[in-house]
Structure 1
């Protein structure tokens, strides 16, 4: 049983990376493209504001992570973004993450930090690019 689970670990890492990236990317689409629709009807953030830059990183970084392209540096950037988001937007509200709404930011931060060390898994463009070409 352990051998089977160990053999599947790189694939499951890829699935976890893809799902986390798609959820992360949805935060960027909501900020920049208003999809899914925000509750407020006003325009989204200015692109060069802190929230706008966060949206750009979430959208582009999420897409790159979903593809598994440049996984380690992109995950490092996204992890840092989530650490900053937690301490800037969530921590001032309350010490407790369940009360300040920052539990997702913490999970993203540490999962992306894990990807910095683990890489994208076997189902990633990074893995495809690192294989020697036949010929």
Structure 2
């Protein structure tokens, strides 16, 4: 079966991936910061400075990536946060991601690296800013 006809929808599909990923990422930060929709399992209260910084990046980065503002820079920062989180909290438990529960961190890291390189796709503030006439 040939799926090349879907290529014309790449900008829209990239935007959907950006929006869904960012909203899920933001949920992790909200669970840490304000216990919404539930408290982050295993997160101490109050949050130590490193987890507080991670939560701020997750909420702020999630918002900016969702709307597609400064997408490349913010996605690069979020990818770095996930790489650091993986190696500090998951990798020491086991080499295998299925054992150390680090699959989500790895996926977020590489999806955000993709957005840092590929840009936001359609339906983004960045795309609107690029189309705006220069003053």
TM-score, normalized by the shorter chain, greater than 0.5: yes
Q: Tell me by how many angstroms 1:36 deviates.
A: 1.7
Select which of 47, 69, 82 maps to 1:45.
47
Q: Which residue of 2 aligns with 1:100?
A: 100
> In 1, distance between residues paired with 2:115 and 2:125?
14
Q: Deviations over 1:16-51 (max 9, x none)?
A: 0000000000000000011122257973415xx000
Query: Which residue number in structure 2 is paired with residue 32 of structure 1?
Result: 33
**Whole-angstrom distance in 2 between the partners of 1:116 and 1:42:** 31
User: What is the deviation of 1:6?
Assistant: 1.3
Residues 1-135 of structure 1 mapped to structure 2, 5 A cutoff: 2=4, 4-38=5-39, 43-46=45-48, 49-133=49-133
- Provide structure 2 residue ranges, at least 5 long, that are not aligned to the other structure: none
Regions of 4+ moved over 6 Å: none
Would the alpha carbon gap of residues 40 and 93 (structure 1) be closer, same or farther in structure 2, given more than 3 Å must change?
closer
- In structure 2, the CA distance between the partners of 1:105 and 1:40, relative to structure 1 (3 Å rule), is closer
In structure 1, distance between residues paired with 2:14 and 2:44: 38
CA RMSD across the alignment: 2.0
Cα distance in 2 for partners of 1:106, 1:60 equals 20
How many correspondences in the alignment? 132
User: TM-score w.r.t. structure 2 length?
Assistant: 0.91
Q: What is the CA–CA distance in structure 2 between the aligned matches of 1:95 and 1:116, rounded to whole Å?
A: 27
